[in-house]
Amino acid sequence: MDDKDRQIIRALQRDGRISNQDLAAQVSLSPSPCLRRVRNLEKAGVIRGYAARVDARACGLAITAFVRIRLERHDETTVQTFEREVGRMQEVTECHVMTGQTDYQLRVVVASLDAYEAFIRARLQRIGGIGSIDTSFAYGIVKDSPVFPAE
């Protein structure tokens, strides 16, 4: 992982569909070694994939919520059940294990407040073992960048 790799990563975070030729030009390599580096980063798991960045509102998904959750117990069964079920729920786009007051922070994307309430009551609570839920809604985006900080 040298400086060229880092340049490549940042360029691909900015534009995941840049052509290999343009990418090679940006990092001052010829196309062959550039492509080989990209493939190596993919195989090594540094690049986990590529994704379109989509406007949730334009897709009719008006509500983005960050949900902090504490479990009632932390035995293996409760934890595994929670993580498995959350992994299956399409509405949950992210789930982080957290330090501090809460065990998990979820990012939940749904169409409406009604859909949010239905999700919490009919799907999330039904998992069982959840001690507390604390929701904050995002109603504006100041910044959303796929690019990591440089050194």
Partner DNA sequence: AGTATTTTGGCATACTATGCCAACGTGAGG
Partner DNA sequence: CCTCACGTTGGCATAGTATGCCAAAATACT
Determine whether 63 is exposed, middle or buried from the number of CB atoms within 10 Å of its CB (0-12, 13-18, 19+).
buried
**Per-residue string for binding with a second copy, 25-54, x by CB under 8 A?**
-------------------xxxxxxxxxxx
- The CA distance from 60 to 111, in Å, is 6
Could you tell which of a second copy, DNA, none binds residue 93, using a CB distance below 5 to 8 A set by kind? Answer: a second copy
Query: Residue 4 or 68: which CB sits closer to DNA?
Result: 4
Which own/partner pairs from 43-49 qualify as long-range (CB within 8 Å, at least 24 positions apart)? Answer: 46/1, 46/5, 46/9, 47/9, 47/12
Contacts with DNA by CB under 7 A: the residue count is 14
Choice from 13, 30, 135, 136 touching DNA (CB under 7 A): 30
Query: In which element (H, E) is residue 22 found?
Result: helix 20-26
Task: Find the part of the chain contacting DNA (CB under 7 A) among 22-30, 60-68, 82-90, 121-129.
Answer: 22-30
Could you tell which of a second copy, DNA, none binds residue 122, using a CB distance below 5 to 8 A set by kind? Answer: none
Could you tell which of a second copy, DNA, none binds residue 4, using a CB distance below 5 to 8 A set by kind? Answer: DNA
- The CA distance from 87 to 36, in Å, is 33
